[in-house]
Chain A
Amino acid sequence: MKVSLLVTCLSDALFPEVGIATVRVLRRLGIAVDFPQAQTCCGQPHFNSGYHDDARVLARHTLRTFANGQTVVVPSGSCAAMIKLEYPHLFHEDPVWHPRALDMARRTHELSDFLVNVLGVEDVGARYEGKVTYHMACHLRGLGLRTEPERLLQRVKGLEYVPLERADECCGFGGSFSVRYPGISGAMVQDKAAFIEKTGVSAVVATDAGCLMNIAGCLRRRGSAIRTLHLAQVLEKT
């Protein structure tokens, strides 16, 4: 099987190790991965802020870049949700692009969705020594992926899984929200960090670079030594 990787702009620029880990996990499972070089950003920031014409420009760019008909794997629920749920909506009245949007929506999968629901794999053969907890990214709720990442984590050898209080409460990232309302967003991420610290883990896992940069930035500010890891980074380890 062959898939195309949509690495997301945040991972590309800020956390390339997430993309690398994703590639390694997929390859270990016998999946060939290619990386369409023209990819940039899926347009979600524009869409969420209401600039829908600009979002359509970026959506068309992404649709063109991934027009090869292959399965697309995204290590981010947020970008996957943009493609799966919002692209068809954005081109609702466009006879040319709507079918293309529907097509890409159908073959795009967030990483844990791809592993568990497409490949049917929960044990990816990973080993990670340590106590970790898991924060549920909000867009996984939108995609209906309520248990997939936890199921993957629980099959990692050596990993001690500690549930997080209010795990599915938003960390306060929300893209432009975090910059428009730093007070509210800051209060949210401070609470999230406090709950994480309470678990006594050495690392917190999430599936989205947005949540990770927010939570990591806050843990650092609090002087905490807890690491933040993308799910792929845990699944990568053997």
Chain B
Amino acid sequence: MNSYAQHEHHDFLNAVRQALADPPLQAALVRLTSTLMAGNRRGYAALADIDALRDHAKLIKEHTLAYLDRYLEQLEMSVQKQGGHVHWASDAEEARQIVLGIARQTNSRRIVKSKSMTSEEIHLNPALEAAGLEVTETDFGEFIIQLAGERPSHLVAPAVHHTRESIARILSKYSGETLPDEAQALAQAGRRLLRQKFAQADMGISGVNFAVAETGTIVLISNEGNARLTTTCPRIHVALMGIEKVLPRWGDLPVFLKLLARAATGQALSVYTTLITGPRRRGETDGPEEFHLVLLDNGRSRVLATPFRESLQCIRCGACLNACPVYRRIGGHAYGGVYSGPIGSILTPLYDSVVDNPHLPHASSLCGACQAACPVKINIPHMLIGLRELQTHQRGKSRWEKLTYHLAAAVLQRPWLYRLGLRCARLVLRPLAHEGWLRHLPGPGTAWTEARDFPAPAPRSFREQWRQLR
């Protein structure tokens, strides 16, 4: 079983219903996404050449993906030259075993982690804990999520579904004191609790935002500084990256640094941009003794060879989530996968199973707000449609649906049948209408009239009036 599938293959419709009936969640989602989207727009507007910059970033990604094997080997060599170790993991299980192996060999018992969606993807924490290791998430939001036994519900704001009150409850329970539900006090408490963990840790695990092939440098972007502590305090640093995160040249980095924070929050740069090239060198006073880079495939090379390759350009900025009117209403957990929102609706079916995730590609109005917000202009609507197309070839797809579309096409390609169909619809629907509108549609149309009225066909269609217009 693929690791993406380990989350509840839950009932999407039920999750949606619950989310829609949860006013505090709705309020939190609107607050967060509105702020971040306003930031995204401001951030883009601040650069005169933003459009060219985004196109340039996309070209770099396209090029890198076309020569991915070459750049990964170059990255490996560069990291080794700097004294680091490189591990190749073809799937989640291999990646988990690699990290466990490093922990064993280096006698590491206590682990601190900075935010990494890739580690969520391979379900690293449960594996480490099962091996008797202590793991602490050090991003404040991730820390809360970990204590609550949940999963992140947003790429960059993992605990968006929590309120100050619920965070106070969770932290109080953990620390054994009664904390007030004030942002300042909670942040202070989090800081105090986490500092201890940093001081005691043997191993730090981080993700990777970018890795530069020609220098062997990994780049971490964060706002809390926990990534720096994670990668410098412990003896051992393990960085986990999906293979698509490699960039060819040092000179490519500024393009993405200019874009990532702007797309995500509107910041020109995030508070911390950490560049790490190898472990501590002779004569240096800080940094880990050992640096390990784990390169994770986990289905990526398979997707690389499909029409969905463009999805590998994603830099996980979260902008598409913030822009999405559907995400804004149902939140991250409803999607049921590690990654949520528009990009999650592509990744989960692709990496888990198209058959087992029938709703995700359809739960989008294809409005294109995601693509407009995406720093690398990923054509998400197109890929959603591509997944819908895959579904139509799969067994288990409703025969009725197929037949309906097929019949409709047969009618619509014959103008006389179309006219006849129109007349029939009018005959059936007009008597049911009041002032030209229907309050209840029969059959599958019921879903429409649950939320709004439906217009009855006009007494005379445009084509019937055309003669007079002439």
Q: Which residues on A are within 8 Å of B, measured CB to CB?
A: 7, 9, 11-20, 23, 35, 37-41, 43, 45-52, 54-55, 57-58, 61, 89, 138-139, 141-142, 168-170, 172-190, 213-214, 216-218, 220-221
A55 to B464, CA, bound (A): 26
A87 to B345, CA, bound (A): 24
Cβ of B365: which chain A residues have Cβ within 8 Å of it?
138, 170, 172-175, 177-178, 185, 188
- In this assembly, does B422 line the interface, its C-beta being within 8 Å of a C-beta of chain A? yes
- Verify B388–A49 contact, CB threshold 8 A: yes
B residues 417-451 touching A (CB-CB < 8 Å)? 418, 422, 425, 437, 444-445, 447-448, 450-451
Q: Is the interface of A mostly helix, strand, loop or mixed?
A: helix
- Verify B405–A49 contact, CB threshold 8 A: yes
Interface size class of B (residues with CB under 8 A): 35 or more
Cβ of A141: which chain B residues have Cβ within 8 Å of it?
367-369, 372
- Verify B368–A138 contact, CB threshold 8 A: yes
Instruction: List 11 A-B pairs, Cβ < 8 Å.
Output: A13-B422, A13-B425, A16-B460, A43-B412, A51-B389, A54-B409, A141-B368, A168-B369, A184-B330, A187-B20, A220-B452
New contact pairs (15) apart from A7-B463, A13-B457, CB-CB < 8 Å: A13-B422, A14-B455, A14-B456, A16-B458, A45-B405, A46-B405, A48-B388, A50-B390, A54-B405, A174-B367, A177-B362, A185-B365, A189-B452, A216-B455, A218-B452
Q: Among B16, B325, B388, B452, which residue has its beta carbon within 8 angstroms of that of A170?
A: B325
- Verify B466–A35 contact, CB threshold 8 A: yes
Cβ of A15: which chain B residues have Cβ within 8 Å of it?
455, 458
Cβ of B35: which chain A residues have Cβ within 8 Å of it?
none
- Verify A179–B444 contact, CB threshold 8 A: yes
A57 to B20, CA, bound (A): 39
- Verify A182–B448 contact, CB threshold 8 A: yes
- Verify B453–A220 contact, CB threshold 8 A: yes
Nearest A residue (CB) for B415? A38
Nearest B residue (CB) for A220? B453
Q: Digitize B376-389: 1 where CB-to-A-CB distance is under 8 Å, 0 elsewhere.
A: 00000010010111
- In this assembly, does B63 line the interface, its C-beta being within 8 Å of a C-beta of chain A? no
Q: Among B20, B330, B372, B457, which residue has its beta carbon within 8 angstroms of that of A14?
A: B457
- Verify A50–B452 contact, CB threshold 8 A: no
A52 to B445, CA, bound (A): 23
Q: How far is the CB of B124 from chain A (nearest CB, A)?
A: 32
Q: Is the interface of B mostly helix, strand, loop or mixed?
A: helix
Closest 7 CB pairs of A and B: A174-B365, A186-B451, A50-B388, A217-B452, A170-B367, A54-B409, A16-B462
B residues 298-346 touching A (CB-CB < 8 Å)? 325-326, 329-330
A97 to B325, CA, bound (A): 36
- Verify B453–A217 contact, CB threshold 8 A: yes
A14 to B462, CA, bound (A): 9
Q: Among A35, A39, A221, which residue has its beta carbon within 8 angstroms of that of B453?
A: A221
A142 to B391, CA, bound (A): 25
- In this assembly, does B28 line the interface, its C-beta being within 8 Å of a C-beta of chain A? no
With A12-B463, A220-B437 in contact, do A214 and B329 touch (Cβ < 8 Å)? no
With A48-B366, A51-B409 in contact, do A16 and B16 touch (Cβ < 8 Å)? no
Q: Among A17, A35, A58, A180, which residue has its beta carbon within 8 angstroms of that of B447?
A: A180
Nearest B residue (CB) for A140? B368
Q: How far is the CB of A160 from chain B (nearest CB, A)?
A: 26
Cβ of B464: which chain A residues have Cβ within 8 Å of it?
16
A176 to B445, CA, bound (A): 10
A170 to B326, CA, bound (A): 9
Cβ of A49: which chain B residues have Cβ within 8 Å of it?
388, 392, 401, 405
With A15-B455, A40-B412, A40-B415 in contact, do A179 and B368 touch (Cβ < 8 Å)? no
Best-buried of A40, A169, A220 by chain B (most CB within 10 Å)? A40
A185 to B454, CA, bound (A): 14
Q: Digitize B94-108: 1 where CB-to-A-CB distance is under 8 Å, 0 elsewhere.
A: 000000000000000
- Verify A176–B458 contact, CB threshold 8 A: no
A39 to B366, CA, bound (A): 25
